[in-house]
């Protein structure tokens, strides 16, 4: 596969063969299918063709197309490709230390598609990911929604929208990380954090009004401002704000700003969501929750509880789960759903939280998140029940192309290897020691 650093000619040949293979319908039979959009199908049939789902249903109810290749996988479970609503795979970095608000920064310019973390995410069954900059800024830049295809360049992983632009959101944050130390360009307090954000969105409203008054007249049109241009997209609903927040009061500040400026927002982490679950539900705002084995690390996450998902579900709020990889390893994403169930969330809600609920939070539900006719052929073949600790991801498929197979020795390295597995740069960087670890921590996960 291309990211295994094979020659470019081999990579192009592999992509061509994958495309050709999709010309022939492929039918998976005999597995239990969990479509998410409906009840589980005990003896199911999934037919994919040219990157899309052609049919899904019970054996006997699905007519196989002429010439279809059939693969009997009785005893396995087929689940939609997992959607991770918050990840840092690909070594992505965002804004720098010069200012607390930098919406013009694009993660697009900082993702390494050959980074082994992408293959590890494939090994965890993740097919779509929201790749984010960190949370050390009030606005740290534009996120990128990626299909984790095997590719040579970032263009091979982009999700294109109907207007030809690529899909992504805007990363915002409040609380400890973005407050930083008083006295510099960063806010130094929670109140100042909110004030700076308000000020910037007011400027965006004014910029939008000036553009409207200009009516396309170049003599009247204001000078192009990339930062304000991005915030106008947020105000117009073209970009969803993906907002890091932990404490109950910080969560309410986000809801207050959302109501004031009318932008679409997803709350991320929400360590104290259970304390304000009714307020979150009343605002109609979804939450992307993280569950970590060992809560702690900073005071604002002190009250992080496994019961957040159950509390939000009871309140009627929309809930997804995320890895924040490398805070939580992408290979353990399904385990997070199991822990949510153990803490009181329904099984149905937990499986939606790693698939369709997250797709909705990214505005991609028309394409991914469930197994339905016409949607992208993104799916995972599991050895057993998705919430069992004994279950393994056996294969991961994206748009009808297999991107991970545990039977392939090269893929097994990514599935079961340690932190440096599959990373050819690891050895040459060994001598940087703790200094390198500090750099990685500063630019990677943001829990």
pLDDT at 407: 97
The C-alpha atoms of residue 120 and residue 416 are separated, in whole angstroms, by: 9
Sign of CA dihedral 367, 373, 378, 384: positive
Report helix, strand or coil for 228.
Answer: helix
The C-alpha atoms of residue 385 and residue 135 are separated, in whole angstroms, by: 35
Contact of 35 with 28, CB cutoff 8 Å: no
Q: Domains in the chain, please, with CATH? A: 1-81+369-416 (2.30.40.10), 82-368 (3.20.20.140)
Closest among 288, 296, 284, 200 to 245, alpha carbons compared: 288
pLDDT at 313: 98
The count of residues in the chain is: 447
Cα-based distances in Å from 155 to 119, 146, 396: 17, 10, 21
Tens of pLDDT along the chain (447 residues) come to: 333 333 333 334 444 445 544 789 999 999 999 999 999 999 999 999 999 999 999 999 999 999 999 999 999 999 999 999 999 999 989 999 999 999 999 999 999 999 999 999 999 999 999 999 999 999 999 999 999 999 999 999 999 998 999 999 999 999 999 998 777 899 999 999 999 999 999 999 999 999 999 999 999 999 999 999 999 999 999 999 999 999 999 999 999 999 999 999 999 999 999 999 999 999 999 999 999 877 667 889 989 999 999 999 999 999 999 999 989 999 999 999 999 999 999 999 999 999 999 999 999 999 999 999 999 999 999 999 999 999 999 999 999 999 999 999 999 999 998 877 877 666 555 444 444 454 444 444 455
Residue 301 has a CB neighbour count (10 Å cut-off) of: 19
pLDDT at 230: 98
Contact of 388 with 342, CB cutoff 8 Å: no
Under 8 Å CB-to-CB from 446, ≥6 apart: which residues?
Answer: 88, 132, 134, 135, 136, 173, 177, 244, 324, 327
The C-alpha atoms of residue 105 and residue 84 are separated, in whole angstroms, by: 22
Long-range CB pairs of 365-368 (<8 Å, 24+ gap) are 367/159, 368/80, 368/81, 368/83, 368/127, 368/128
């Amino acid at each position: 596969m291309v990211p295994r650093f094979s020659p470019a000619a081999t990579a192009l040949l592999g992509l061509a063969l994958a495309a050709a293979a999709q010309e022939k319908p492929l039918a998976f039979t005999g597995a239990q299918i969990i479509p998410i959009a409906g009840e589980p199908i005990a003896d199911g049939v999934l037919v994919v063709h040219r990157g899309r789902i052609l049919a899904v249903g019970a054996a006997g109810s699905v007519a196989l197309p002429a010439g279809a290749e059939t693969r009997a996988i009785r005893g396995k479970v087929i689940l939609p490709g997992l959607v991770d609503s918050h990840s840092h795979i690909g070594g992505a970095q965002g804004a720098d230390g010069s200012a607390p608000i930098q919406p013009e920064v694009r993660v697009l310019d900082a993702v390494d598609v050959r980074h082994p973390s992408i293959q590890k995410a494939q090994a965890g069954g993740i097919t779509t990911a929201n790749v984010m900059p960190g949370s050390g800024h009030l606005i740290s830049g534009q996120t990128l929604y990626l299909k984790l295809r095997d590719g040579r360049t970032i263009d091979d992983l982009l999700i294109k929208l109907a207007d030809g632009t690529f899909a992504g959101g805007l990363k915002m944050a409040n609380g400890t990380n973005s407050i930083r130390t008083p006295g510099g360009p960063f806010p130094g307090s929670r109140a100042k954090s909110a004030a700076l954000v308000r000020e910037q969105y007011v400027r965006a409203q004014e910029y939008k009004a000036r553009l409207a008054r200009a009516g396309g007249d170049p003599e009247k049109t204001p000078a192009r401002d990339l930062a304000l241009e991005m915030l106008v997209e947020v105000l117009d609903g073209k970009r969803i704000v993906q907002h890091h927040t932990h404490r109950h009061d910080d969560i309410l500040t986000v809801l207050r700003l959302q109501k004031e400026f009318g932008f679409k927002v997803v709350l991320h982490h929400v360590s104290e969501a259970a304390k304000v679950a009714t307020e979150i539900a009343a605002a109609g705002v979804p939450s992307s929750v993280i569950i970590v084995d060992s809560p702690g690390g900073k005071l604002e996450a002190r009250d992080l509880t496994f019961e957040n998902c159950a509390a939000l579900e009871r309140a009627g709020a929309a809930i997804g789960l995320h890895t924040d990889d490398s805070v939580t390893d992408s290979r353990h994403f399904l385990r997070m759903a199991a822990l949510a169930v153990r803490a009181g969330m329904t099984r149905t809600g937990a499986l939606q939280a790693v698939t369709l609920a997250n797709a909705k939070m990214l505005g991609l539900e028309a394409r991914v998140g469930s197994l339905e006719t016409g949607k992208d052929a993104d799916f995972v073949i599991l050895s057993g029940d998705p919430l069992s600790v004994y279950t393994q991801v056996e294969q991961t498929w994206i748009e009808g192309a297999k991107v991970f197979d545990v039977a392939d020795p090269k893929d097994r390295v990514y599935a079961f290897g340690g932190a440096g597995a599959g990373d050819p740069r690891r050895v040459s960087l060994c001598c940087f020691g703790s200094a390198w670890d500090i750099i990685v921590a500063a630019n990677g996960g943001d829990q």
